[in-house]
Amino acid sequence: MAQLSSTLLYIAFVLYLVATFFFGGAIRDKKAKSGPDRWAMIGIAVTIAGFVAQLGYFVTRWIAAGHAPVSNLFEFTTFFGMMLVGAFIVIYFIYKTSLLGLFTLPIAILVIAYASMFPREISPLIPALQSDWLHIHVTTAAAGEAILAVSFAAGLIYLICVVDQSKASKRTFWLEVILFCLISTLGFVAATTAFRLADYEAKFEWIDKNNQQTEMVYHMPALVGPHEGKLKTEGRMEPLVDMPAIINARKLNTVIWSLFAGAILYGLLRLVLRKRIAAALQPLVKNINLDLVDEISYRSVAIGFPVFTLGALVFAMIWAQIAWTRFWGWDPKEVWALITWLFYAAFLHLRLSKGWHGERSAWLAVIGFAIIMFNLVAVNLVIAGLHSYAGS
Amino acid sequence: MEHVKCECGHVNPIGTVLCESCGKPFEENAPALLDMRYEGSARRSQTYNKTIIDKVWNFFSSVKVGVWLIVITLIASAIGTIYPQEMYIPPTVTPAEYYEEQYGWLGKWYYQLGFHDLYGSWWYMLLIALIGVSLVICSLDRVVPLYRALKKQGVTRNEQFLRRQRLFSSSHVDNYEALLPQIKEKLAKHRYHIREENGNILAEKGRFSRWGPYVNHIGLIIFLIGAMLRFVPGMYVDEVFWIREGETKEIPGTNGKYFLKNEKFIFQVYEKEKEKKVFQEAIDRVGSGMMAKNYQTNAVLYERVGPIIPGEKPKLKKVKSFSIRVNEPLKHDHYALYQVDFKLNELSKMSFHLIDKQTNKQFGTITVDLLQPKDEYDLGNGYRVQLLSYFPDFYFDEEGNPATKSKVPNNPAFVFKMITPDRPDGEVSFTAIRQTIEPLGDNKYKMAFAGMETRNVSALTVRRDFTLWILGLGGAIFMIGLIQGMYWNHRRIWIQRINGEVLVAAHTNKNWFGLKKELAKICEGTPLVMPVDQADKGR
Ligand code: HEM
């Protein structure tokens, strides 16, 4: 069962990739002739097939484990990717824009690839997680975040379309930053996979912040080493600098490698394209109806905000009351859910009352997604709290 | 002059932008597309600006101020997550030292600026309170005029009002009277409420969604009030207590009404051999026996019968037995008991043999209950042991004297006096774990360690929270308002014949795409021209 489950996830992943190409084809096709769009039809069909496969992964894994697979970083992030595809499918049937597929699916693919870099084995539940509320809270929260993420995809399309690429400006700079971040996720996946294939392992002895001597195993060459670290494995790279004890050097090292790999990928792309990435993408989106994209972005926030509130705040509070004796404890993860919520509340007010439509609203959608990702990635890995999954 | 009279005859409050009834714009140079926010009604904040009250009112009714408050709260909250809050640092350290030690000068600043207890700080509370005030004033400022405007709206509209809607078209229709029933039927099929006046139509649906924001704001305010009630004494009990296996204890916070017996505390871990095969890999990675599976206190809840008489043992009546586990608190009479912590194998009893050091001959065994030690243990035949001093959690203080850190028997030490027929004055010996000191010279006899018993201790939290239902109510109202405002929209379509032309105009508060699709279906197969989006013209 567990084996079947992994295979299904793999199939889903490949299908999403294929669907992306079809949506890409749909864009080119539109320029040539009008009429019912074959490419887009195939694209959405393949997407749905992929979604069904991933649903299969979810169900079989649930059966194998005896609990819903949303209990660690890998499972939660994969589920988020699945919800993102689900949200896209729904929105696609409302608005019928293939372009949205061309942007949403790669994000979902990145999310799933990122997820699979974390320990993937099926794990039993620690006492705090043994509750039906785990399933209810986590699934609705992820669904809400995924719907909100669609607004990011739409916002990105909007920005790529309207930001003037003829001269360098703050706007072109930040747009490249967004794209660089996406590419760095790919960098993370590439670097992790490469060193994993090479079976890289370097053991360090180091002094932690309580002055205890402990061990730490790196799976990537150490650019930054742990506090007073001594390399124990022979023939491995010595770190360039040591970190103070409060910083988790291994995680920082991974981040550096990811950015490094991302920079190489980004540099190569720039070399090949000979212009900004956003400028290279611009022709793809130039036929889009901007108002429609703006509305999709707003609609996804309007739909996603209540779902997010329900999952990430209401259900979270109910569960916290049962599991941790209090409905709210100012744990970092909780606080960041509150921040996300406040942010989107501000977004809605600005839009409604201050008339922040179009480009401003698109930038806000990007920031909102950044906050969600921060909560998903950084708060889990960096700011440890009650919620931090036992990821490495 | 308190009122403005429109040419249609309707009398509007002063400050009105669009006539409540016919929608005629009052401003001389109104924009090409009308601003339909709040239906152009007269809001207090836009109308009065004289007294201090006006100024305060205007300040808080501004959405700009509201958004700023939200953004400041958001940023402050984020800062609070940089380093752990005071409640998450180890309880044994002083915060002042902890932050500097752990995080250097940044940590020191963090502490000195009060970020270590940000969410309990007065200014954070003030921010939340200001948001609350802003919510109330802002909503009041808008909801009344909006209600008036929607209630009073007329069917027949001013031509300017129609032409300046975002969705608008004009068509030539030869036989309007014949067309009307067909259109009305179509509108009804899309579940519009239709009002007709002289052949003019106002079709409207989803008006209730306009109240969504106000409903959700009310929910938020109720929630905030509930959160504030927490500070009212008596609304809220939150206590932790430790209870040993076999012990019966009064539950703190219940005013002596309830007692709990800890029958057994169970701690289980995941062991590789015992779990499903799919879990093997995961258990291997963390290590077999390293991952917690269950924390459980098998408890019996008792209620006191009769009045409280000081110094007398309470009479107890069993209420129920329950296994308290994480995620499964014991609930009774608004109280909830939660499993929160535990300590395994706390020493409970220690036994010693009284022996002759030379011959190792035994003269009997004593067992000391470490929580309630006796002063003297009689072994018979003239052998007695007196317990002169007892240090449950023994250490040497600064002057080198034995002392105890706490009452918990973590590291017990005893001063025994051994009285035997041949040493009637007794010999004194200081006995601790793995050490014996004979302060008054060499002894003949010795207390030799003979064994010990341990038991588990469980920590439970007691909660009673009378604010929960208010919070629940606020949350539910908030969700209802949110869904009401977000998943429905308020759509209106006006159809009117003016000078032989048929004008169609439409407005919605959100989801224009949906409205356009609906209009297209309604206009299809009729001589009506599909309204165009006049907002597109500008581009
Ligand atoms: C965190 C707190 C708040 C939340 C979660 C919240 C939520 C909402 C939501 C969901 C809407 C509907 C938006 C839409 O339909 O697009 C709304 C509308 C509105 N909110 Fe808030 N709000 C909050 C605080 C405030 C504050 C502090 C003010 C006052 C300045 C305010 C004033 C308004 C106004 C004027 C509207 C528009 C009502 C209308 O046009 O019908 N809100 N709010």
Residue B207 CA to ligand 1 centre (angstroms): 17
Q: What pLDDT, on a 0 to 100 scale, did the predictor assign at position B30?
A: 64
Q: Is pLDDT of B72 > 90?
A: yes
Say how many C-beta atoms besides its own lie within 10 A of residue B462's C-beta. Answer: 22
Percent of chain B surpassing pLDDT 70: 98
Residue B128 CA to ligand 1 centre (angstroms): 15
Q: What pLDDT, on a 0 to 100 scale, did the predictor assign at position A389?
A: 41
Ligand 1 mutation target, pool B217, B483, B487, B489, most atoms within 8 A of CB: B217
Contacts of B272 in chain A (CB under 8 A): none
Q: Is B485 in the pocket of ligand 1 (CB under 6 A)?
A: yes
Which secondary structure element, helix H or strand E, spans residue B210, and what is its range? none
Phi, psi (rounded to 5 degrees) for A235:
70, 15
Ligand 1 mutation target, pool B128, B134, B135, B479, most atoms within 8 A of CB: B135
Return the ligand 1 atom nearest residue B38 CA: 40
CB contact under 8 A, A349 and B270: no
Q: Is B135 in the pocket of ligand 1 (CB under 6 A)?
A: yes
Handedness of CA A112, A116, A119, A121 (dihedral sign): positive
CA–CA gap between residue B463 and residue B239 (Å, rounded): 7
pLDDT in tens, B85-115: 877 777 777 877 888 877 778 888 888 888 8
CA–CA gap between residue B518 and residue B530 (Å, rounded): 10
Give the residue whose CA is nearest to atom 42 of ligand 1. B135
Q: Cβ contacts of residue B308 below 8 Å, gap of 6+?
A: B256, B314
What would the DSSP string read from start to end of A201-256? -EEEEEE-TTS-EEEEEESS--SEEPTT-EE-STT-PPPSEEPPTTS-HHHHHHHH
Q: Is B145 in the pocket of ligand 1 (CB under 6 A)?
A: no
Residue A180 CA to ligand 1 centre (angstroms): 34
pLDDT in tens, B306-353: 888 887 888 889 999 999 998 899 999 889 999 988 888 888 899 999
Q: Give how far A338 is from chain B: nearest CA, Å.
A: 8
CB-nearest partner of B74 from A244, A342, A354: A342
Ligand 1 mutation target, pool A348, A349, A353, most atoms within 8 A of CB: A349
Q: Enumerate residue ranges in chain A where pLDDT < 70.
A: 29-36, 246, 380-392
Which secondary structure element, helix H or strand E, spans residue A68, and what is its range? none
Contacts of A292 in chain B (CB under 8 A): 513
Residue ranges covered by each domain of chain A: 1-165+275-382, 174-274
Distances (CA, A) of B297 to A125, B325, B333, B454, B459: 19, 7, 19, 16, 9
Q: What pLDDT, on a 0 to 100 scale, did the predictor assign at position A36?
A: 56
pLDDT in tens, B508-523: 988 888 899 999 999 8
Residue A348 CA to ligand 1 centre (angstroms): 7
Interface test with B, best of A63, A330, A350 (most B CBs within 10 A): A330
- Residues A81, A115 contacting (CB under 8 angstroms): yes
Say how many C-beta atoms besides its own lie within 10 A of residue B344's C-beta. Answer: 10
Tokens at residue B351, please?
Answer: 């036994």
Tokens at residue A1, please?
Answer: 């069962």
CB contact under 8 A, A121 and B325: no
Q: Is pLDDT of B387 > 60?
A: yes
| A-B contacts at Cβ under 8 angstroms | 143
Q: Is B132 in the pocket of ligand 1 (CB under 6 A)?
A: no
Q: What pLDDT, on a 0 to 100 scale, did the predictor assign at position A325?
A: 85
Q: Is B63 in the pocket of ligand 1 (CB under 6 A)?
A: yes
Q: What pLDDT, on a 0 to 100 scale, did the predictor assign at position A330?
A: 86
Residue B216 CA to ligand 1 centre (angstroms): 8
Residue ranges covered by each domain of chain B: 43-150, 155-206+489-533, 236-345+459-465, 349-452
**H-only helix segments in B190-335:** 212-229, 280-286
- Residues B213, B169 contacting (CB under 8 angstroms): no
Q: Which residue has the higher pLDDT, B221 or A252?
A: B221
Interface test with A, best of B77, B327, B489, B534 (most A CBs within 10 A): B327
Tokens at residue A188, please?
Answer: 């993370």
Q: What pLDDT, on a 0 to 100 scale, did the predictor assign at position A192?
A: 87
Residue B510 CA to ligand 1 centre (angstroms): 14
CB-nearest partner of A345 from B70, B278, B340: B70
pLDDT in tens, B447-464: 888 888 888 899 999 998
* CATH architecture entry for B155-206+489-533: 2-Layer Sandwich (3.30)
Give the residue whose CA is nearest to atom 43 of ligand 1. B213
Q: Is pLDDT of B294 > 60?
A: yes
Q: Which amino acid is at A385?
A: G
Give the residue whose CA is nearest to atom 9 of ligand 1. B213
Say how many C-beta atoms besides its own lie within 10 A of residue B467's C-beta. Answer: 19
pLDDT in tens, B21-47: 888 888 766 667 787 777 777 777 777
Tokens at residue B209, please?
Answer: 């969604």
Q: Which residue has the higher pLDDT, B441 or B526?
A: B526
Residue of chain B with shortest Cα separation from A134: B327
Q: What pLDDT, on a 0 to 100 scale, did the predictor assign at position A34?
A: 52
Q: What is the average pLDDT value for chain B, to the nearest integer?
A: 86
Q: What pLDDT, on a 0 to 100 scale, did the predictor assign at position A30?
A: 56
DSSP letter (8 states) at residue B528: P
CA–CA gap between residue B290 and residue B280 (Å, rounded): 13
Strands B362-369 and B491-498, sheet pairing: unpaired
CA–CA gap between residue B165 and residue B183 (Å, rounded): 20
Mean pLDDT of B266-276: 84
Q: What pLDDT, on a 0 to 100 scale, did the predictor assign at position A392?
A: 31
- Residues B152, B21 contacting (CB under 8 angstroms): yes
Q: Is B213 in the pocket of ligand 1 (CB under 6 A)?
A: yes
Q: Give how far B287 is from chain A: nearest CA, Å.
A: 12
CB-nearest partner of A336 from B67, B81, B487: B81
- Residues A376, A118 contacting (CB under 8 angstroms): no
